[in-house]
């Protein structure tokens, strides 16, 4: 899942991004509305965490831009004003959810995951391939009844492969989906992460690598 955090309070924006990355999400950050609008043209986001009070281009305007786009992301609007009237106004602008500051971080994470599931093109709640089951909401992965102890990036890579199944993903596509804008495309980070994931999945090995095509999960069975 790729998330854009937009807030002019740099410390708060960076803290939110760091916390979400710890949850295995790919997160980009914009500190004003103009930067956010530019990023919308570069990356397909699943969820945008959007502060309503932004310099340059206001959060209300950014929200409208998202709502009017061809494939709109889900918008979680943040604001210091939490009255019912403010909430109604934010939702009227096209926001999908509304959260008043200050907020409890675990609630923010749950709301982001809930919004991602509500997208029209969202995948099934539980992803399956053979004897592998992955639950994005509860952040659990199981193989043959055995709980897998995966790092945040290993979990994100497995989720991306299951969502793409029965198709394949190139290393570049995995980097785009499981990492954020700070990832170096010239490193071996995808190869190393996939190798660690394969060791933890064990045999028979479900991840197949095809030169020139990429990685895929064998014997897919999404439901």
Q: Kindly report the pTM of this predicted structure.
A: 0.63
Q: In this prediction, what percent of the chain has a pLDDT beyond 90?
A: 41
d(CA 141, CA 150): 8
Q: pLDDT (tens digit, 9 = 90+) per residue, 14-27?
A: 999 999 988 888 89
**What pLDDT band is residue 147 in, cutting at 50, 70 and 90?**
very high
So what's the pLDDT on residue 172? Answer: 85
Quick one: 210 exposed, middle or buried, by C-beta within 10 A (0-12, 13-18, 19+)? exposed
Residues of the chain with CATH 1.10.10.10: 127-217
Q: pLDDT (tens digit, 9 = 90+) per residue, 66-97?
A: 988 878 899 999 887 656 666 666 566 778 89
d(CA 135, CA 144): 14
CATH architecture label of 127-217: Orthogonal Bundle (1.10)
So what's the pLDDT on residue 221? Answer: 38
* Average pLDDT, integer, range 175-197: 80
76 in Cβ contact with 47 (< 8 Å):
yes
- 45 pLDDT higher than 50: yes
50 in Cβ contact with 24 (< 8 Å):
no
Residues of the chain with CATH 3.40.50.2300: 2-118
> CATH classification of 2-118 is 3.40.228.10, yes or no?
no
pLDDT higher for 114 or 220?
Answer: 114
Axis crossing angle, helix 189-201 with helix 152-164, rounded to the nearest 10: 80
d(CA 83, CA 62): 21
- Pick from 48-52, 80-84, 117-121, 129-133: least confident: 80-84
Q: What are phi and psi of 153, to 5 degrees?
A: -75, -35
- 163 pLDDT higher than 90: no
So what's the pLDDT on residue 18? Answer: 93
So what's the pLDDT on residue 5? Answer: 97
């Amino acid at each position: 899942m790729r998330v854009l955090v937009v807030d002019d309070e740099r410390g708060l924006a960076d803290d939110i991004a760091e916390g979400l990355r710890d949850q295995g999400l790919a997160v980009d950050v914009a500190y004003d509305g103009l930067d956010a609008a530019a990023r919308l043209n570069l990356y397909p986001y699943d969820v945008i965490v959007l502060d309503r009070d932004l310099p340059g281009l206001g959060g209300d305007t950014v929200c409208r831009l998202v709502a009017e786009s061809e494939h709109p992301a889900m918008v979680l609007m943040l604001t210091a004003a939490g009255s019912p009237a403010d909430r109604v106004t934010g939702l009227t602008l096209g926001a999908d959810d509304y959260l008043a500051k200050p907020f409890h971080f675990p609630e923010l994470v749950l709301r982001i995951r809930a919004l991602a599931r509500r997208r029209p093109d969202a995948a099934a709640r539980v992803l399956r391939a053979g004897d592998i089951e992955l639950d994005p909401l509860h952040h659990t992965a199981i193989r043959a009844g055995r709980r897998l102890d995966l790092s945040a990036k290993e979990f994100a890579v497995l989720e991306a492969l299951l969502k793409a199944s029965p198709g394949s993903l190139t290393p570049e596509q995995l980097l785009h989906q499981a990492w954020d804008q700070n990832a170096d495309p010239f490193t071996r980070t995808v190869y190393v992460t996939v190798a660690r994931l394969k060791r933890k999945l064990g045999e028979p090995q479900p991840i197949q690598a095809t030169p020139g095509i990429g990685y895929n999960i064998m014997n897919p069975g999404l439901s």
